[in-house]
Structure 1
């Protein structure tokens, strides 16, 4: 298979902006990793007209895909976890070309998982967890149990990913297999939600009670990054927080997270007068009890 695709990747390897090339072959009973393709060629480049360029090939009844990905896009995927297959590709793929040990450096960093990267990743997962949990709670309170169920399943998934990151590992495609070893209590909660024969509303009610405790137990690790940022100065407007280079990665989950932390007395609201009578600006500051 590698011999057949050699002309394709050799052409890419000869280009000056190519940083590395990895081949991933489909493993038996592991179709999702390669999206049903027999082989994937991952070509990492320093720059390109588009961040991701894809080509599909057919050969002798088999199919292959080429992904040309910029260094910037790869780093975004690794940080945000928005392309879970990329971890498997880098961990298990065969390195065909590696300019100045670029890919070896990435793999080394993935294994070591620097602490700062973990803090930010935990913050992003915690924000997603709170968003899903709060939305699910709102649907439940209004009797929309199927919608609540959907959000709760997602919230447990983010809780599982947070637990994995907390222990210094990257969440992979098989995150439930990982978390079963790391935090079996979360796995048990998930299994009870999806396999219990109790009526759906009863299952959700019990899960919300149990989730409160688990979320609370992850609050410190999940908010470390945001707390570090907010400690940079005393008062913040929402616009300043949203446009902070790192906090902007929290995206649509940020406002819900702030309101949750206000409710938990970790963040305080400071009101400042505007020109309008009875109308105040809202500013945010860390609670004094955190110091």
Structure 2
């Protein structure tokens, strides 16, 4: 298959902005890694004309998908975990071409998983966990058990990824295989939710209690990155300032709910700043004094 595709990837390899080319082959009829294509060519470029360019090919009875992706987009996917199959491609794909050992160095960085990157990814997963947990509780209290189940299931996925990241690994597509080895307790919660014969409302009730415990136990680790950013400024932060802070853009729509959650947990304080309206104040955020020393 590599020989058939050689003219396609060699053309890309000859271009100076191409940093690396990987090949990933489909290994089963239902292989999700390649989106059901027989083979994927993944090309990483510097300053691409488009962030992501995709082209499909047919040869004989087989199919191929060509991805040409700007390296900034690759880094964003890796950081946010928004395209997890790419992690598998980067770690397990066959290297067809690399400039100055670019792919090998990228793999080493993924395997070593620097502490600062871990903190950011833990913050992202923690914020997503908090949102799913709160939304799930809301549905549960309204007796909307199937919707609550959906949110709790997603919350468990974020909790599992949180534990995996804390242990120094990137979460893979097969996250439960990873977490079974790393944190059996979380795997057991997942198995109880999806496999128990208990009534659904009873399962959910137990899961919320367990989630309460784990969220509380991971509060400082999950909030570490956000707290570190807030510590950089001695005065309080307005919401507009937080939204414009480059380091916090990774939280997206989950930033507000994370802030309010940390206020409830007394890790952040709210400062009221007077407005022109009588009795109406701007809300600004600042670290609690006892938390500043710990950041």
* TM-score, normalised by the number of residues in structure 1: 0.97
Deviation of 1:25 after TM superposition, in Å, equals 1.2
| Structure 2 counterpart of 1:225 | 225
Counterpart of 1:14 in structure 2 is 14
Q: Which residue pairs with 1:40 in the alignment?
A: 40
The answer on 1:286 being equivalent to 2:287 is yes
Counterparts of 1:164 and 1:279, CA distance in 2: 44
SS at match of 2:53: strand
SS of the aligned residue for 2:101 comes to: helix
Alpha-carbon distance in 2 for matches of 1:202, 1:104: 49
3-state DSSP of counterpart to 1:128: helix
Q: Which segments of 5 or more consecutive residues in structure 2 lack a partner in the other structure?
A: none
Q: Deviations over 1:5-48 (max 9, x none)?
A: 00110111111211111111122476011111111100111122
Q: Secondary structure at the match of 1:44?
A: strand
Return the alpha-carbon distance in structure 1 between the equivalents of residues 74 and 30 of structure 2: 23
Aligned residue number for residue 205 of structure 1: 205
Q: Distance in 1 between matches of 2:11 and 2:277?
A: 66
Q: How does 1:237-256 map to 2 (within 5 A)?
A: 237-256=238-257
CA 1:281–1:101: 2 relative to 1, 3 Å: same
- Cα distance 1:84–1:26, how it changes in 2: closer, same or farther (>3 A)? same
Taking the TM superposition and a 5 Å limit, the aligned residue runs for 1:97-108 are: 97-108=97-108
In 1, Cα distance between the equivalents of 2:143 and 2:28? 43
Q: Is the partner of 1:225 in helix, strand or coil? A: helix
User: Structure 2 CA distance, aligned partners of 1:193 and 1:29?
Assistant: 29
Match of 1:275 in 2: 276
State the TM-score, normalized to the length of structure 2.
Answer: 0.96
Shift of residue 60, structure 1, vs aligned partner: 2.1
> 1:136 corresponds to which residue?
136
How far apart, in 2, do the equivalents of 1:88 and 1:16 lie? 25
Distance in structure 1 (CA, Å) of the matches to 2:220 and 2:274: 33
Q: Is the 8 A contact 2:29 2:36 kept in 1?
A: no
Gaps of 5+ in 1: none
CA RMSD of aligned residues (A): 1.1
Q: State the alpha-carbon separation in 2 of the partners of residues 251 and 230 from structure 1.
A: 16
Q: How far apart, CA to CA, are the structure 1 residues paired with 2:277 and 2:220?
A: 38
Residue of structure 1 in register with 2:172 after alignment: 172
Count of matched residue pairs: 291
